[in-house]
Structure 1
Amino acid sequence: MKTFLACLLVLSVSVTASNASCYVLPLNPVKRGDEIIGSYDMKGEPHEFNSQWKTEDCLECSCSKFGISCCTTYARPVNFDEEKCVSIFNNTACAYEVVEKADHSKTCEVHEWVG
């Protein structure tokens, strides 16, 4: 258990340092008889070990014997003209678009993306 907590600490520090958008849910066992076969996610949905899926809110998740880990599938724009432009998240494409505030049909130049 101490090793697992140490790994979680290292992961949380590295996630913060890299600006990644990820999280880990500790194992919430799904059982078949006495055997643990997976973990429940935040919505209470069961997932088997070694499974992977994409959520409706654009996260890629996987289930392991340590729990469930999820990361965003998109980058966030951080270096653009915020006075002239606005970033809009497109849920269907799981991506940000940066467009002019006055005319959303015109895209803006983005100099840096994070995530």
Structure 2
Amino acid sequence: ELVCESSCIDPYDGNRHPSGSKWNTDHCMRCDCLGGEMECCHRYSGIAIGPVGCKAVVNPETCRYELYRINNPSEPCF
């Protein structure tokens, strides 16, 4: 009996992952490969709502929301 192992290609970095594997991407995504089908979801969670005058931005290194002032995006809201 011939059995072909399925795999998934990560659309974010082009790497091939075997069926049954799970991995985190550099784009804050958590992906699973099962039977050649891939499913990904965001690794960050929580509420992206801050005080008036602030906006939530995902930090790509920590995969967490950070709040910054709308009128000065380099200044964090505390």
Give the alignment's TM-score, normalised by structure 1.
0.51
Residue equivalent to 2:19: 49
Identity %: 23
Residue-by-residue CA offset, 1:7-53 (whole Å, 9 max, x unaligned): xxxxxxxxxxxxxxxxxxxxxxxxxx962242223254211111111
Distance 1:35 1:106 in 2: 53
**Match for residue 62 of structure 2?**
93
Consecutive unaligned residues of structure 2, counting only runs of 5 or more, are none
Distance in 2, Cα, partners of 1:105 & 1:80: 11
Which fold has the larger relative contact order, with Cα–Cα distance below 8 Å and residues 6 or more apart in sequence?
Answer: 1
Q: What per-residue deviation string (whole Å, max 9, x for no partner) do you get for residues 59-91 of structure 1?
A: 0001101501100001250x3344x11222211
**Superposition RMSD on alpha carbons, in Å?**
2.6
Aligned letter for 2:75? H
Equivalent AA in structure 2 for residue 94 of structure 1: C
Cα distance in 2 for partners of 1:105, 1:38 equals 42
